[in-house]
Structure 1
Amino acid sequence: MGTPFIFTMHEGLPRQGPGSNACTRKAFSMLADLPPRPEILDIGCGAGMQTVELARTCPGCRITAVDVHQPFLDDLARSAASAGVGERITTIRASMDGLPFDDASFDVLWAEGSIFIVGFREGLVSWKRLLRPGGYLCLTEAAWFVEDPSPEAAVFWNECYPAITTVAANRAIAEDAGYEVVATFPLPKSAWWENYYMPILKRVEDLRAKVAGNPEAEAQIEFAERETAVYREHGSEYGYEFFILQKKG
């Protein structure tokens, strides 16, 4: 079986979802009372722009980065070595719905743009065992910023991620799952365009002729272009919210 085109489409990009180094640093700055050498697990790390930035931001940390796609992990290893932080980052190929780690192994779990794969509530519940008492889970999740989104935006999200809800609803889900909500903040539009949408639009344009006649690939390209068009028109109605959560007890 060949590599799914969704992975091919995202190879070689700076990020596999919206985000920025500034947002990563801002979220990390909200963590208090970490040990001098915190153990961090980056779940669904992709090519690991945020992984490398975490290593730069916290010189004492050690990071385990997991993803199911080996080429992403290879890209991360190269960029970490280039940044001089490679000795503190370990890459492991693993699925986020079966993470091969003992309970209470980490001080911080990090998941930028990945928890939707298993579901917001499901990820919060299943990953909590990995945290030490008082540990943090920092993640980004798609959320409505308005109570009454436009029909076009609602149709798009109901098709691709019907679990999307408001920031307030997600805060309540986190609290019910046993976390204290330390803080949340929305990603700026630049975090969508500069590191994700503009690179991926260029990528699909480069791939278009090569995949002509491949229904799966053509459908993925069409979806990527539709997604960016909807965000261009309705990006004030929804976006990614960064959640900084602390395990209770």
Structure 2
Amino acid sequence: MFYLKGERPVGPARFEGGRLRGEIVLDYNSPALRCVLADPLAFTHSDAVTVLKDNARSRVVHGRIDGRDVVVKQSHAKTASKAFKRAFLPSRAARGWYAAHTVEAFGVPTASAIAYVDARHGPFRGRSWLISEWVSGQDARTCLTAPDIDPGERTRLIKAIVDIYARLHRARITHGDNRPENFMIHEGRPVLIDLDVTVRHPPWSLVFRRYARRDVRQLVERWHKELSIAEEFRRAFRDYGLEGA
């Protein structure tokens, strides 16, 4: 879905257990991780995790596996009709897993994907779970609107976020969910998260430029209440030659 021929940057290990199927990064495959993958629903609803988000579309929790901090995103459809439609498509967890490894291959900082698993009923997909490394820090909106942030530091972070879009678009990748909250400021640099609607467009795609412009436009529009920040993003996008601002 995300790789062109001969470009696959990782070698996954397949995981199957009952009605659950998925993939694991080869350099991390432990008994504790396999235990979580065998029953991810129990893990995401256990007392050992902290719930970060829980709505009709997904449940996101922060927990620990083998002593390392992870985020587990459980995706599910909001309605029966959407569940039927998505039963025939790659799951959001699968899309997020492949997208994370793809953007990393192009030098984009993101939360490393550890594993994903789909619940299947015969050929049909149901819920899915994506396990990623935990990225500590503040989201871009919180960080850039902090009253004590240095203007020079804010400009540096804005340019770093725009540089991420430049890297994505050079690789013909569009993010699709362009909210400031999907950039975590970790150790002084922005990290892109939430890639389950990310798309890599083939060279012959007729819609890539339209989706790339939409990426830029949506991010700028998300700052409509902070006009000075929105204008700084516009200037940075124009300096990089990215259309849509």
TM-score (norm 1): 0.26
Q: Whose strand proportion is higher, 1 or 2? A: 2
TM-score (norm 2): 0.26
Q: Which has the higher contact order (CA 8 A, sep 6+)?
A: 1
